């Protein structure tokens, strides 16, 4: 059985993001799957998804509700979960078959996509990763023991994980891409060229802004006027071909 997990807390993403993620995963995996959402708001999530309480993390606010909360998955044990899981962020679009994400380097305890905004830095983007429950509990233990020092040392949770974990592997480059890096044309071409889906991409990740619903209609939210000169995209209508329940 192929096991997939996502996390949803707070009100940034509604249940439609979970429902669409399940739909994309189900269409792109062969055989039996188990899909779990760890959430504090299960209302509106489709019945095929198993919903359990989202693990909390004992570090000071507001950081306990930042992506640092995802480090809770590195506990020695997890309720309702064991063995190997594919973690997927809610703000992704699945564009091709995912079966190889379960058969690639099966002995590895952690495989992650490259963080394409910092190429060749040895940092993974935890929008898409496969992990074995209980394989690296020291990641959570160290964070809980000294959260302030770790937050001052590492700019975010994925940098902390990448630089601290004892084993790290990466997906093949073409499998997992960033919308802002591999899809959006560079300046000034983005002013007249539409974002394109790279060949062979299985997952397109949308960390930060824009989200898939923004990119679909050609919006790149920003509150700073001087960023509007380069935070510009045309509508990515191809998202509609994949991002649905």
pLDDT reported for residue 223? 76
Query: What's the confidence (pLDDT) of residue 109?
Result: 97
* pTM for the predicted model, two decimal places: 0.96
pLDDT tens-digit profile of 156-212?
A: 999 999 999 999 999 999 999 999 999 999 999 999 999 999 999 999 999 999 999
What residues contact 142, with CB distance under 8 A and at least 6 apart?
A: 150, 164
The answer to whether 184 and 195 have CB atoms below 8 angstroms apart is yes
23/48 Cα distance (integer angstroms): 10
Residue 143 CA to residue 156 CA, distance in Å, equals 12
What's the distance, CA 126 to chain centroid? 5
Two tokens at 45?
Answer: 């999530």
What are the tens digits of pLDDT across the range 129-164?
999 999 999 999 999 999 999 999 999 999 999 999
Kindly report whether the peptide bond that precedes residue 210 is cis, defined as omega within 30 degrees of 0: yes
Give the pair of three-digit tokens for residue 115.
């963080």
Q: How many CA atoms lie within 13 A of 225 on its CB side?
A: 0
> In this structure, what token pair is assigned to residue 152?
């001052």
- Neighbour order of strands in the sheet with 176-178: 92-94, 203-205, 176-178
Provide the residue ranges of all domains of the chain, joining segments of one domain with +.
2-170, 180-241
Contact 115, 128 (CB under 8 A): no
List, for residues 42-92, the tens digit of each pLDDT value.
999 999 999 999 999 999 999 999 999 999 999 999 999 999 999 999 999
Give dist(CA 141, CA 161) in Å, integer.
12
Please determine, for residue 228, whether its predicted confidence score (pLDDT) is greater than 90.
no
| 115 strand-pairing partners | none
Q: Is the pLDDT of residue 225 over 90?
A: no
What fold, for 2-170? Spore Coat Polysaccharide Biosynthesis Protein SpsA; Chain A (3.90.550)
């Amino acid at each position: 059985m192929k096991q997939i997990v996502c996390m949803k807390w707070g009100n940034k993403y509604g249940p439609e993001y979970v429902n669409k993620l399940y739909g994309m995963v189900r269409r792109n995996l062969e055989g039996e799957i188990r899909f779990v959402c760890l959430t504090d708001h299960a209302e509106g999530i489709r019945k095929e998804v198993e919903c359990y309480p989202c693990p909390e993390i004992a570090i000071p606010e507001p950081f306990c509700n930042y992506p640092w909360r995802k480090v809770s998955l590195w506990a020695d044990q997890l309720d309702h979960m064991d063995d190997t899981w594919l973690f997927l962020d809610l703000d992704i679009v699945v564009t091709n078959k995912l079966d190889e994400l379960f058969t690639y380097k099966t002995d590895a305890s952690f495989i992650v996509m490259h963080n394409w905004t910092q190429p060749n830095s040895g940092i993974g983007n935890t929008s898409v990763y496969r992990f074995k429950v209980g394989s690296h509990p020291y990641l959570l233990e160290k964070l809980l023991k000294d959260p302030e020092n770790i937050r001052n040392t590492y700019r975010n949770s994925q940098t902390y994980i990448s630089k601290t974990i004892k084993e790290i592997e990466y997906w093949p480059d073409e499998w997992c891409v960033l919308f802002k890096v591999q899809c959006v044309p560079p300046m000034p071409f983005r002013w007249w060229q539409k974002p394109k889906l790279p060949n062979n991409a299985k997952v397109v990740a949308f960390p930060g802004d824009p989200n898939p619903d923004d990119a679909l209609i050609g919006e790149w939210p920003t509150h700073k006027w001087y960023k509007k000169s380069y935070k510009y995209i045309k509508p990515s209508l191809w998202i509609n071909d994949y991002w649905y329940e």
